[in-house]
Amino acid sequence: MKKHVLLFLLALLLLPFKGFAETGDSTGFELDKLGEDTVFLVNADDPDHAVLNLAKNENERRYPASTTKILTCIIALETADLDEPVKVSKRACDLSPKNSKMGLKPGESFPLIDLLYGLMLPSGNDAAIAIAEHIGGSVSGFAELMNKKAAELNMHDSHFTNPSGLHNSDHYTTAHDLAVLTAYALQNELFARIVSTVVYDAQSTAGRKIELRNVNRLLRDATASDYKPYSCLYEYAIGVKTGDTHLAGRCLVAAARRGDTTYICVLLHGEAAPDGAKRLEKDRYLAQRFYDAIDLFEYAFQNDTVDLSISDLKERCLPDTYAIPLDPQKYVATEALYSIDWHEGESLSLPRWQADVFAKDPFPEENLLYEIRSYTAPVGSKAGTVTIESNGSPVFTGDLIVEEYNVPPTPEPSPTPYFPVTELSPAATPAPSAAPSDPPGLFERFFRLLRCNPTTP
List residues with catalytic annotation: 66, 69, 123
In terms of residues, how long is the chain?
A: 457
φ, ψ of residue 98 in degrees (nearest 5) = -75, -10
**CA proximity to 71, closest of 136, 154, 143:** 143
Q: What is the C-alpha to C-alpha distance for residues 81 and 134, in angstroms, rounded to an integer?
A: 11
Strands 109-111, 85-87: pairing is: antiparallel
Q: How far apart are CA 385 and CA 406, in angstroms?
A: 20
**Angle, CA 169 vertex, CA 165 and CA 171 arms, to 5°:** 40
Distances (CA, A) of 7 to 4, 23, 150: 5, 22, 51
Question: Looking at 259-364, which runs of residues are DSSP E strands?
Answer: 261-270, 305-308, 321-325, 335-342, 348-351
Instruction: Categorise residue 367: left if φ over 0, alpha if ψ from -120 to 50, beta otherwise.
Output: alpha
Distance CA 222, CA 203 (A): 24
Q: In angstroms, rounded to a whole number, what is the distance separating the alpha carbons of residues 176 and 42?
A: 9
Give dist(CA 253, CA 297) in Å, integer: 12
CA angle in degrees (0–180, nearest 5) for 267-249-17: 75
| Contact residues for 193 (Cβ-Cβ < 8 A; gap 6+) | none
For residues 144, 147, 149, 150, the Cα torsion angle rounded to the nearest 10 degrees is: 170
Q: What is the DSSP letter of 298?
A: H
335: which residues sit within 8 A by CB, 6+ positions away? 323, 324, 325, 326, 405, 406
Spatial neighbors of 317 by CB under 8 A, at least 6 apart, are 359, 360, 361, 362, 363
The closest of 323, 342, 322, 338 to 377, measured between CA atoms, is 338
Is omega for the bond preceding 362 within 30 degrees of 0, making it cis?
Answer: yes
